[in-house]
Amino acid sequence: MMDERRQSARRRTYLGGRASYEKPVSSDECLVRDRSPGGARIEFSGSTPIPNAFDLTIRDSGETRSVRVVWRDGLQVGVAYESAAVPFAPEAARRIRNLEADRNALARRLAQSGQPMR
């Protein structure tokens, strides 16, 4: 029997979803089989290789989250949420993450130069 490592219990679901990948730009349909505040179990129907990180959109709620794969078992993957739910398109969520990453990189460069960020 597998040890339970989740921080919170998952609820069984049967929700349609879409996994969107950046490189190359593509996406796959999926089913969200169960979910918790910290992650979800997702089932894919095809044999497309699933990357270690992607954006997951849940159709019923319209929410999009960045997720990270924590386990794999055949066509199922367990993911941990890497971001809060974003109630708009995956492209907008991806742009926001990229802008935040750029800001953080600039802040690090300023810190190395000794100048404060305003």
| Lowest mean pLDDT across 20-24, 34-38, 86-90, 98-102 | 86-90
Q: Cβ distance 79 to 69 under 8 Å?
A: yes
In this structure, the number of other CB atoms found within 10 A of the CB of residue 30 comes to: 25
In angstroms, the CA 114 to CA 55 distance is 36
Residue 24: predicted pLDDT: 62
Residue 23 has pLDDT above 70, yes or no: no
Q: Considering only residues 102 and 3, tell me which one the structure prediction assigns the higher pLDDT.
A: 102
Residue 106: predicted pLDDT: 86
